Amino acid sequence: MTVKRKSLFLIGLIVAALALVAAGCGGDGGGEAPEALPSSSCTAIEYEGDGNPDYIIASDFPLQGSSRTQTEQMIAAIRQVLVDADWQAGDYKIGYQSCDDATAQAGKWDSGKCNQNANAYAANDKVIGVIGTFNSGCAAIIIPVLNQAPDGGIAMISPANTYTCLTVNIPGGCDSTEPDKYYPSGSRNYTRVAPSDDYQGAFLAEFAKEQGTTKMYVLNDKEAYGLGVATTTRKALEHVGIEVVGFDAWDPKASSYEALMKKIQGTGADGVFLGGLIDENGAQLIKDKVAVLGPNDGDVKLYAPDGFTAQATIDETGPASAGMFMSVAGVPIDEFQGDALDFVDSLLAGELAGKEIDPYAIYGGQAAQILMDAIANSDGTRASVIEQMFATEVTDGLLGSFSFNENGDPQDASGAVVGFTMYVATDTLTTEDSFSPDPETVQAAGA
């Protein structure tokens, strides 16, 4: 058995010293240690193989703010995939860096940080792939930079982005320049294992109809993701026969939304949908909804997409969140099957011991597996990794079975990759229902 050592590759003399130690311990050398991505955003290089890594994969998630609990689990899942693969993708040794696209000041992803990270990835010739982002607005900044990176671009795969316009154009929901502006090279370098918001909008609409909602007022937070999911949900609501009595935006910087809620009250709405993120002053919005329109399990129900689906929503709003419905891509942990169950067991036996596994961890693991397989099947060039990523065919994987279409979205899919879960807020997120929306409703949402 070969004894492996764990090394955190830094810079300068520290890197050189570790390289000498590796040679002295019988490692095969593996060439020079790669230059690390900036410590202002990223951890040191993690690697548990012999010698030095040939390439780096980076993850790009917000590690500050309300999403941190979910993103930390996704990072743990990525590490688990690397451990399971012995930090090796085919002939190539792979190191890993976790990078933060959030700032303490913003308390969420930050556009300047996303741009800074993107340029660092593109400039480092040892970065062979990026797993991320968590927020679609950040992805919109990073994708075009990686698309034009030297040597054919850099493969990027997201476990969480649902903004439809990153890959296709929805009339009325996307700018006329989307998605082409994200791919200035003329070819695609981005895929995702999360279903886009035409699926989420369809799921929300079908669930709302089951709840007896007949008139919905649709709000969005003015961000790309929020407007996108609000648009697909509006179209799906109309398809299933629910009247949309208003479509409006909330100001994330407002101190009160009582006037907005009184406006909604005047429309006779028996449902309100919040398209956006809890980070965009969502807690105050929920509190004012309840103050004016009553409890969420009363005459006016409250619905929200995955931008709100986190324990932080309950923690930040307290009793006001009770009865609120929140959707998320994927199925509850206890509904995952096959390899996903073994993967969950590995997480619980390791870094996430004693914690409740978030479904997004499984998405992070699936994204990491796909990227590692693409690197293994490539000739070691960035362009080849992208080609192999798009050629992926997953059979009975962590999320089920699927491949990617030419746009980078899952196709021919079954299992969790097209499933959604609706939670209701109690003291925690409590599973209310789980299903895959009707293809006709999905088509209407994306039309």
Q: Find tokens 């499984």 and name the residue.
A: 362
**Residue 61, pLDDT above cutoff 50:** yes
pLDDT of the residue at 419: 87
Per-residue model confidence (pLDDT) at position 1: 36
Token code pair at residue 256: 């009160």
17 pLDDT band, cuts 50/70/90, is very low
Name the DSSP class of 309: -
Identify the pLDDT of residue 14.
Answer: 36
Predicted confidence at residue 66, as pLDDT, reads 80
pLDDT of 174 reads: 86
**Domains of the chain, first to last:** 7-195+334-414 (3.40.50.2300), 197-329+419-445 (3.40.50.2300)
DSSP-based three-state secondary structure for 22: helix
**Taking the CB of residue 114, how many other CB atoms lie within 10 A of it?**
25
Task: Answer whether 214's CB lies under 8 Å from 243's CB.
Answer: yes
Mean pLDDT of the chain: 91
**Residue 59 pLDDT greater than 70, yes or no:** yes
List the one residue out of 199, 244, 197 whose CA is nearest residue 218: 244
290 versus 14: which is more confidently predicted?
290
Split at pLDDT 50, 70, 90, the class of 413 is: confident
- C-alpha span between 131 and 116 (Å, rounded): 16
Cross-strand pairs, 130: 58, 156
Q: Quick check: helix, strand or coil at residue 213?
A: coil
